Structure 1
Amino acid sequence: MKWLKRGGLALAAVLVPAFVALATWEPFFARETTVPAQRTYTAEIVRDEYGVPHIYGQTDADVAYGVAVAHAEDDFATLQDVIAMSKGRYGAIAGEEGAQFDYIYHLLDARGTAEREYPELPADTRALFEAYAAGLNRFAEEHAEEVKLGNLFPVNGEDVAAGFALRQPFFFGLGNIIEPLVSGKPLRREFGPDIPGFPREIAPRQPEGESAREVARTARTVLPLGDDAGLLGSNAFAVAPEKSGGPTVLVSNSHQPLRGGVAWYEFSVESEEGWHFTGANFPGSPFPFLGHNEHLGWTNTVNRPDMVDIYELVLNEDASAYRLDGEWRDLETQWVTLPVRMGPVVLPIRRAVHRSVHGPVILREGEDGRQEGFAIRYGGIGRIDQLDAYYRLNKATSLEEWEGELSRMAIPSTNFIYADREGNIAYVYNAAIPDRPEDVEANWRGVLPGDRSDLIWHGPVGYEELPRLVNPESGWIYNANNEPFTAAGAGSDLDPEAFSPVLGIERKQTNRSRRAYKLMSEAEVLDRATLEAIKYDRAYEREGYVAVLWDALENLEADGELAEARDLLLGWDFTADNDGPADALALLMIRDFMSAEYQNKHEWPDAGEELAKHVAHLKRHFGRIDPPMSELLRLRQGDRDLPLDGGSDTLRASTTWEVEEDGRLSLVHGDSFIQWAEWPADGGRVRSRSIQPFGSATTRPDSPHHTDQMELYAAKRLKPVRFWREDVLANARSRQTVTNAP
């Protein structure tokens, strides 16, 4: 007995220090940030009746400081997640899911890119980022009880820049390539024909348990990775005065997650240095990514060019070298430590990351047991000058100046739809598409041989090679994540034959694009009422994946309850408007078929299996197969619970949802930030309206602005944007001055 006691004490003497070490090592191990000598920043934050912050300052840097403070007041939790990712420490917060992003942070050399490129940015751009970092630091210092992770602060401008280097490539589908390569699953390419030996379908990872599911949802809303990345979308509309019957109109209708690191945050900025802009950003940015100033505005939609090339390397026996042009080169290898939170402790997990002259390299075991290596090269690799380009776009005053910034090819991807007070409208299929040599024989849509240097491109194509429309004869432009060759109507659209196939421009439509093209082409005048009806349209065309699904239902043999459900769907009016007995079941059925087409999966879902699954769900939770869709699809935040309409790919977008315990679908991704701007034809001041799904203070349940926009959002209504200072002050609910002065 004494021996057991002594043994227990000895074991405790070992385990207790080990536990303490695992619980405390990570902050001490973390990279220490050096903060440059601080200047004094002073900004005024005025919040309007909806809590939207309007930040004023003498200099642009003063305003950027205020942007950080205002955003932290509303959503410091998400900002910390983004900063942790920017430092490769997200696994210490979000566990295994977070560590996946930390691995990618090292794989893509986000920090190295920032270290090399940030010092080369113009001084005023760096000043903006240093001021933003200073605002985050001051808030963290004054609210230490909210800080999630030791030694996360202070941060500097380079830290913020590293976050840009990490996140941007995932908006054009890099996650759909990295995820299967890392996990050893079959590789799926986003575009083009099937690649021999690499079927496209990837089974989604299913976290176990409620807490794991919540962490996974949180992690995947910070960075678009894997299957979720393929569902990013948006609608955008621009209408010239001659077609609107009045003003020049720009409608921004982005579809992003409603929460997290790629959810929109609305604010306005104004400085005495000429920066005056209203719009929205993602957490971790000192400036808006879309919106308008006095002179012009723009919005974005995700485009899907072939921005990524994969090279299969020829490796030596121990995978320490690869062959290039007949010579062996050492594979660059770096060992990194990934922090992985497991309950109260953080485990240090060692992983190797590799690089070749092509770019990041992923090694995995092949079918014969030997190591195989794949190198990745993507548009915009090694660049962060988008930080400067977005800042300059914010301050542009003319179409020429605006296009001059885009022509730098600094912003790696996304369509730009533009309008201005002069009555100009424009569309640019913006993408830093790799400048692939056309005089070599290669299948750029397949896996390329990695032992040929002539297949390693350098930099993007020229701006003049991109699809681009300015002031089309139709008087309107739209995009809904469709190909750029259906953008302005018959007689105004671009000819796809005029663009090289090596560019890898997608040739796809969405249901939203089919509906928008049809409705806008049919409209004699696109006045406000007509355009609102188009933007909130809830109908489907029986084309594409919708036709595939309904053809399958017509050929489906079923009996009993399944036959009843099939017949209910066959009688549907193809409108997700909460006005029909089939709407709820159709909403559930369409989602996976839309996803399969959008992500280029190899096979369609089985219509019979899907029908049985969704019938069972409706029967279990509603006791019937035809409940009103408004009882199924909900907008939920705090104690607010509102009915919604629209579908996964309707212009009124309710794209994805979380299935709650009561069987309801709580929207997590769809119509997010909407802004409607108009420049009057008589030259008067720009005016705009906007809406967010919840409110400005997304993660502050005690704030009156946690849910105060929900009623308007659900009712498809917009609130006024207070762009002009006198309007802001007339509707102010709070005013404060923030500074880092002692």
Structure 2
Amino acid sequence: MIWIKRGGWTLLVSLLVAFIALATWEPFFAQRGEASEGVHTYRAEIIRSEYGVPHIYGATDPDVAFGVAIAQSEDDFFTLQDVIAMSRGRYGAIAGEDGAAVDFVYHLLDARGTAERHYDSLPKDTRALLEAYAAGLNQYAEDNPDELKLANLFPVNGKDIAAGFALRQPFFFGLNNVIQPLVSGEPLRREFGPDIPGFPRDANGEVIGPDFDGEPADAAHYTPFGEDGVLNGSNAFAVSPEKSGGPTTLISNSHQPLTGGVAWYEMTVESEEGWHFTGANFPGSPYPFLGHNRHLGWTNTVNRPDMVDIYKLEMDESGTRYMLDGEWRDLESKTVTLPVKIGPVTLPIRREVHRSVHGPVIINDNGAFAIRYGGIDRIEQLDAYYRLNKTTTLEEWQAQIARMAIPSTNFIYADEAGNIAYVYNAAIPDRPEEVEANWRGVLPGNRSDLIWEGAVDYAEIPKLINPSSGWLYNANNEPYTAAGAVDDIDPESISPILGVELKQTNRSRRAWKLLSEAEVLDRENLKRIKYDTAYEREGYVAELWDAVEAHDPGADAELAESRELMLSWDFTADNEGPADALALLMIRDFMSAEYQNKEYPDVEEMLREEINHLKTHFGRIDPPMSELLRLRHGDVDLPLDGGSDTLRASTTWRVEDDGRLRLVHGDSFIQWVEWRAGDRVRSQSIQPFGAAISRPDSPHHTDQMELFVNHQLKPVHFWREDAIANASRRYVVESN
């Protein structure tokens, strides 16, 4: 008995030691980060507006970048820590299995190696900006240890910031939709619709795309969708003074998640070195990505060019070498440790990552596949965004875009001189046209002539400068509808090897129609267009209504009632019709199916599912849509209009326990900019929640919500004297 008791204590102690080890190993294994070398001092003034939006002022650009880090940490240090953890391969220690998946991609893409290889080649002033931003994060972490999620996450340095860019940028053009199916061994999504010029076809004219074994299959590449299958989108408009009857107008209407690592954060930055810009960034950036300065501005929308090529490698029996041009080469392989938080412990999970000369390699049951993508092994976007902030003319601005340093996203531009422009920006791979290959399929990995270098020239990508229509727009549609029938780009003028998408969105159809019909695009008409809630009966909308009309409910009275309600819908998501709620629930899955080239859902199954949802939570199938769709944050709960893929975008929602749909992705940062002849630039903006996004105790946690739901904007205090005059708080931050 004594031996048993002693053995029990031994086992208990062993278990306790194991538990402590699993609960504490990760920060020691990860090791403490390193601050930048040298002694630097920074000083910035932060002027908070009546809505808490920071105007950050400093003598130098690095002073301002330091202030940006402090201001955003004050408002959302919760999210900033997630972003920094991603940039150091430690997100799994915060977010568990989902975070570990991000960490795996971090190692797979060699984000850290990319930053370390190229960081020193960035211009000195850009590096100084990144180092100052890192210093601001470090200081906030040091001053607020009670807010830290992970031990040894700080200090960080400029290379950490650069590694975060290298990791996250490819996800904007859908690299995740290649990695995920390759890791799981599932079929790849087809990238384009069947009308793409030059897409290979079989004897019956059907589009083909090789699967893993090189045989025809219904998949070829990727699409830039979130996990719920909904397109990551935005709207953008630019209008010349001749067409507006007054100012040159730029409307930025981004659709992003409302919270998290790619949610917009609004700010104005100003230094005595000439940096003066207002707009928004994502957590982890020292400068805005879109907005305006005194002279010009731009906004972005996601585009979907063919940015990724996949190669099937020919491996030897050992699985450690691959064939290239008749010679065996060693596959680069290394084992990485992924931290996976499960409850109170963090498990160390070991995984192998591989690389070939093509790029990252994923091995699954179907073989070994290498990935090469636009912007691979480059971090010049860190410099390009900074330079764009400081451009003053269309020529300077185009020179920065022409570097092809920013891997993707459309740009819509306007300036004080009355110029407007649209650029289908993408660092599209410079694929050799003389080489015979199916670039839309899985390529043979044993030929070096299929391994391209760099991006196509700026001259090759679609663009429009100052169209005669006087307006430009993009709503995540093909670039061939942008300025009206007279000015739109001819698809035949663009090489099919670029892989430019041929897709329309309902937002595009509505924008093109409404902009074309308007004789004058003054503020009133532009506001009507921007907040439009209607659907055109085309594409997936037509498919849904044709299916509803054709459906025979038989003797099922409930189905018959819901069918008639759907057929009575007025094709608007404006909260006014009895069918709006049911249509809102029905339409999104049809939209997702069209954009992903999947089969449309079964109408009867969908009707039954949505009838059940509405009756369970509302007791009827025709509740007001405003009771169903809600903007919720903190203690505020407000009704919303708009639907998936309307210009007033309520794109993605989460079903709450009470059956309401809480918006999580859609209209987010909106900015309306005007340049009038002889006047200084003026702008207004709005966010769905407030500046202090993750600070429930702040008065600026939810103070923009009422304006947002009522289609109202707040003033942007771009000019320093305006910022001071409207300040709710004004203070100085300095480095320790």
**TM-score (ref. length: structure 1):** 0.95
Q: Deviations over 1:312-339 (max 9, x none)?
A: 1111123111111111111110110000
The residue matched to 2:57 in structure 1 has which SS? strand
Contact preservation (8 Å) 2:230, 2:652: no
Deviation at 1:195, TM superposition (A): 2.0
Matched pairs, number: 713
For residues 102 and 190 of structure 2, the distance between their equivalents in structure 1, rounded to whole angstroms, comes to 20
The residue matched to 1:255 in structure 2 has which SS? strand
Deviation at 1:190, TM superposition (A): 2.3
Deviation at 1:593, TM superposition (A): 1.1
Q: Deviations over 1:158-187 (max 9, x none)?
A: 001000000000100111110111122221
Contact preservation (8 Å) 1:240, 1:475: yes
Contact preservation (8 Å) 2:533, 2:572: yes
Contact preservation (8 Å) 1:233, 1:302: yes
Contact preservation (8 Å) 2:264, 2:668: yes
Contact preservation (8 Å) 2:590, 2:600: yes
1:2 maps to which residue? 2
Deviation at 1:229, TM superposition (A): 7.4
The residue matched to 1:646 in structure 2 has which SS? coil
1:209 maps to which residue? none
1:576 maps to which residue? 573
2:78 maps to which residue? 77
Q: Deviations over 1:497-526 (max 9, x none)?
A: 011000000011000000000000000000
Shift of the 53–509 alpha-carbon distance from structure 1 to 2, 3 Å rule, reads same
1:94 maps to which residue? 95
For residues 229 and 630 of structure 2, the distance between their equivalents in structure 1, rounded to whole angstroms, comes to 23
1:494 maps to which residue? 489
Matches within 5 A, 1:141-160: 141-160=142-161
1:38 maps to which residue? 39
Shift of the 538–52 alpha-carbon distance from structure 1 to 2, 3 Å rule, reads same
Q: Deviations over 1:515-571 (max 9, x none)?
A: 000000000000000000000000000111111111111111212211111111011
For residues 331 and 175 of structure 1, the distance between their equivalents in structure 2, rounded to whole angstroms, comes to 23
Give, as a single letter, the amino acid of the residue that structure 2 aligns with 1:571: S
Pairing 1:560–2:557 present: yes
For residues 659 and 490 of structure 2, the distance between their equivalents in structure 1, rounded to whole angstroms, comes to 47
Give, as a single letter, the amino acid of the residue that structure 1 aligns with 2:561: E
2:530 maps to which residue? 535
2:202 maps to which residue? none
1:219 maps to which residue? none
Pairing 1:478–2:479 present: no
State which of 681, 686, 689 in structure 1 corresponds to 2:681: 686
Deviation at 1:114, TM superposition (A): 0.2
State which of 639, 643, 648 in structure 1 corresponds to 2:639: 643
Deviation at 1:31, TM superposition (A): 4.4
For residues 230 and 303 of structure 2, the distance between their equivalents in structure 1, rounded to whole angstroms, comes to 11
Give, as a single letter, the amino acid of the residue that structure 2 aligns with 1:659: V
2:405 maps to which residue? 410
Pairing 1:419–2:420 present: no
1:588 maps to which residue? 585
Structure 1 stretch 239-248 or stretch 26-35: which is displaced more?
Answer: 26-35
The residue matched to 1:132 in structure 2 has which SS? helix
For residues 362 and 466 of structure 1, the distance between their equivalents in structure 2, rounded to whole angstroms, comes to 31
Give, as a single letter, the amino acid of the residue that structure 2 aligns with 1:342: I
Shift of the 671–201 alpha-carbon distance from structure 1 to 2, 3 Å rule, reads farther
Deviation at 1:226, TM superposition (A): 5.4
Contact preservation (8 Å) 1:191, 1:445: no
2:246 maps to which residue? 246
2:359 maps to which residue? 359
For residues 181 and 313 of structure 1, the distance between their equivalents in structure 2, rounded to whole angstroms, comes to 13
For residues 56 and 315 of structure 1, the distance between their equivalents in structure 2, rounded to whole angstroms, comes to 57
For residues 265 and 189 of structure 1, the distance between their equivalents in structure 2, rounded to whole angstroms, comes to 34
For residues 228 and 443 of structure 1, the distance between their equivalents in structure 2, rounded to whole angstroms, comes to 30
Deviation at 1:592, TM superposition (A): 1.0
Matches within 5 A, 1:304-343: 304-343=304-343
State which of 640, 654, 658 in structure 1 corresponds to 2:654: 658
Q: Deviations over 1:64-119 (max 9, x none)?
A: 00000000000000000000000000000000000000000000000000000111
Contact preservation (8 Å) 2:225, 2:232: no
Give, as a single letter, the amino acid of the residue that structure 2 aligns with 1:673: F
Give, as a single letter, the amino acid of the residue that structure 2 aligns with 1:61: P
The residue matched to 2:298 in structure 1 has which SS? strand
The residue matched to 1:266 in structure 2 has which SS? strand
For residues 560 and 201 of structure 1, the distance between their equivalents in structure 2, rounded to whole angstroms, comes to 40
Pairing 1:17–2:17 present: yes
Deviation at 1:608, TM superposition (A): 1.4
**TM-score (ref. length: structure 2):** 0.96
1:599 maps to which residue? 596
Deviation at 1:228, TM superposition (A): 4.8
For residues 707 and 671 of structure 1, the distance between their equivalents in structure 2, rounded to whole angstroms, comes to 16
The residue matched to 1:694 in structure 2 has which SS? coil
For residues 353 and 722 of structure 2, the distance between their equivalents in structure 1, rounded to whole angstroms, comes to 53
For residues 289 and 114 of structure 2, the distance between their equivalents in structure 1, rounded to whole angstroms, comes to 21
The residue matched to 2:209 in structure 1 has which SS? coil
For residues 31 and 434 of structure 2, the distance between their equivalents in structure 1, rounded to whole angstroms, comes to 46
Give, as a single letter, the amino acid of the residue that structure 1 aligns with 2:293: N
For residues 581 and 645 of structure 1, the distance between their equivalents in structure 2, rounded to whole angstroms, comes to 14
For residues 458 and 98 of structure 1, the distance between their equivalents in structure 2, rounded to whole angstroms, comes to 32
Pairing 1:509–2:504 present: yes
Matches within 5 A, 1:39-438: 39-192=40-193, 193-197=207-211, 227-228=227-228, 231-366=231-366, 372-438=367-433
Displaced runs of 4 or more, over 4 A: 198-202
For residues 659 and 186 of structure 2, the distance between their equivalents in structure 1, rounded to whole angstroms, comes to 31
Deviation at 1:611, TM superposition (A): 1.2
The residue matched to 1:267 in structure 2 has which SS? strand
Give, as a single letter, the amino acid of the residue that structure 2 aligns with 1:439: E
The residue matched to 1:231 in structure 2 has which SS? coil
For residues 642 and 101 of structure 1, the distance between their equivalents in structure 2, rounded to whole angstroms, comes to 33
Contact preservation (8 Å) 2:430, 2:453: yes
Contact preservation (8 Å) 1:49, 1:732: yes
For residues 19 and 307 of structure 1, the distance between their equivalents in structure 2, rounded to whole angstroms, comes to 45
Q: Deviations over 1:246-285 (max 9, x none)?
A: 0000000000000000000000000000000000000000
Deviation at 1:201, TM superposition (A): 8.1
Give, as a single letter, the amino acid of the residue that structure 2 aligns with 1:711: E
1:206 maps to which residue? none
Deviation at 1:294, TM superposition (A): 0.2
The residue matched to 1:654 in structure 2 has which SS? coil
Contact preservation (8 Å) 1:249, 1:676: yes
For residues 621 and 679 of structure 2, the distance between their equivalents in structure 1, rounded to whole angstroms, comes to 53
Deviation at 1:288, TM superposition (A): 0.1
Q: Deviations over 1:397-427 (max 9, x none)?
A: 0000000000000000000000000000000
For residues 56 and 305 of structure 2, the distance between their equivalents in structure 1, rounded to whole angstroms, comes to 36
Matches within 5 A, 1:644-723: 644-680=640-676, 682-723=677-718
Structure 1 unpaired stretches of 5+: 203-223, 367-371
For residues 80 and 184 of structure 1, the distance between their equivalents in structure 2, rounded to whole angstroms, comes to 32
Shift of the 507–277 alpha-carbon distance from structure 1 to 2, 3 Å rule, reads same
Q: Deviations over 1:343-399 (max 9, x none)?
A: 111100000000011000000113xxxxx1111000000000000000000000000
Give, as a single letter, the amino acid of the residue that structure 2 aligns with 1:323: M
For residues 71 and 39 of structure 2, the distance between their equivalents in structure 1, rounded to whole angstroms, comes to 20
State which of 456, 464, 467 in structure 2 corresponds to 1:461: 456
Deviation at 1:154, TM superposition (A): 0.1
Give, as a single letter, the amino acid of the residue that structure 1 aligns with 2:168: R
Give, as a single letter, the amino acid of the residue that structure 2 aligns with 1:58: A
For residues 481 and 126 of structure 1, the distance between their equivalents in structure 2, rounded to whole angstroms, comes to 33
For residues 262 and 231 of structure 2, the distance between their equivalents in structure 1, rounded to whole angstroms, comes to 13
